[in-house]
Amino acid sequence: MLVTCRNRYLSGILPSWVVPLALVLVALPLHAENSWDYGKRGLEWSDSSTGSYLWLGLRAQLRYSSIENSLRIPDDFDSPQNSGGSVNRSRYKLGARWHKDVTFYHEYDLRNSQLLDLRSTWVSNPGFNLRAGQWKAEYNRERTDSSGKQQFAERSISTYWFTLDRQWGVMASGRLWQGQQADTSWWGGVLGGNGLNEGSDGGRPMVMGRWQWNYTGDVLPFSQSALKRYEHPHASLAFSAAANDSAYTRFSSSGGGQLPGYEEGKDNQYRIYQAMQEWGWQRGGLSFQQELHWKSIRDRVNGGTRDMYGGYAQVGWFPSERWQTVPDKLELALRAAYVDPDSPEDLQDMEYTLAVNWFFNGHRNKLTFDATYISAEDDGRRESEYRYQLQWEVSI
């Protein structure tokens, strides 16, 4: 059983031990045979004699949006819609390897003063790894992809309804039959099931599994846009499933919460089953990915079950692959997404988004402009709106 760990508790102890830990990790290598450099992850230290390394990075995301409100049900369209700029992300990241088989990663949200990631991974061999701590469960590609490595300023509307997001827990994973036709990546774990900075509530924990067939013999990284311009296709077909009892019906980077139509729940009030199919493909300057989701929520207190469906499909393309006169830093992307929550009011959400990216330095420094058409229907009433966003993503 996982140990319960609440937000207020973490917020109280975080400065007292995370900062000293970071200082110790930085100070110890100063006495070793080492080298310092500024690399692709930020300030990096490495020791060639032991294979140890340490890196520290900062990340910010500045965004202007014509509509800052969330538009998920028709009533949201009636609310006053604010526009303006904001610091959408402000984080520091710390990674280390002090033993050839053990790595550590920590990420903290400076904007909201919130612990995001704190995990350690033991890599015994390619076929078996073991991870413990808090991180984004590798359930689906769109959520596992960092928000800094997306093709669009915002993830699709399906993320709100189906993501597992960050959880405390333990996960085993690995890759089998590398380079062969049966090349497979797998994940299986036991998680808290109550979201960010929350442990177990004493009931059934979340159980999650993911099977991914790397049918081209190469692993497609959890990163959008065909920046690497692969000469040969990199692709994967994946299926995931999860089950848990929780007081929450949805998860996000803010923690556990409730989907439309659900009230604040008691411990283990909601029994949730969900499954997903996913496909991703990249070659040259072209990329595709899609997901299909199903989620069933049973209210164990008030009764009733809802089956939800949703998904998205998107494509990205660097025109310079076709016309050499077009700058190779320019990418165009298109996405369509939908959600059918099976609510009593027959709610349905749809989204179409066109994006333009300009990569100054890959995903570490880029501009994204996207235009989105969003519509929501509720019991025969449909509302729609256009949203425009301009975002600067930068890491140092």
Query: Could you list the pLDDT tens digit for every one of the 396 residues in the chain?
Result: 333 344 443 444 444 445 545 555 555 555 445 677 777 888 888 877 777 888 999 999 999 999 877 777 777 777 767 788 889 899 999 999 877 789 999 999 999 899 999 999 998 889 999 999 999 999 999 999 999 999 999 999 999 999 999 999 999 999 999 989 999 999 999 999 999 988 777 778 999 999 999 999 999 999 999 999 999 999 999 999 999 999 999 999 889 999 988 888 888 899 999 999 999 999 999 999 999 999 999 999 999 999 999 999 999 999 999 999 999 999 999 999 999 987 655 566 899 999 999 999 999 999 999 999 998 877 677 888 899 999 999 998
d(CA 252, CA 160): 7
Is the CATH number 3.40.50.300 carried by domain 60-90+100-109+121-395? no
- Tell me if 91 sits within 8 A of 114, measured CB to CB: no
Cβ–Cβ contacts within 10 Å for residue 292, how many? 16
Three-state DSSP class for residue 227: coil
Q: How far apart are CA 189 and CA 373, in angstroms?
A: 37
Contact between 63 and 391 under an 8 Å Cβ cutoff? The reply is yes
Angstrom distance (rounded) from CA 214 to CA 238: 9
* The dihedral formed by the CA atoms of 86, 56, 195 and 114, expressed in degrees to the nearest 10: -50
The three-class DSSP label of residue 180 is coil
Structure tokens at 363: 């995903």
* pLDDT value of position 10: 44
Pairing outcome for strands 381-395 and 286-299: unpaired
Distance separating alpha carbons of residues 95 and 339, to the nearest angstrom: 36
pLDDT digit string (tens) for 41-85? 888 888 777 778 889 999 999 999 998 777 777 777 777 677 888
- Model pLDDT, residue 14: 47
Any idea where the domains of the chain sit in the sequence? 60-90+100-109+121-395
- The alpha carbon of residue 383 and the mean position of all alpha carbons in its chain are separated, in whole angstroms, by 28
| pLDDT for 82 | 77
Alpha carbons 320 and 336: distance in angstroms, whole number: 24
CA distance 71 to 86: 18
* Gyration radius of the chain over CA positions: 21
273 touches 296 (CB < 8 A): yes
Give the number of other CB atoms < 10 A from CB of residue 38.
Answer: 10
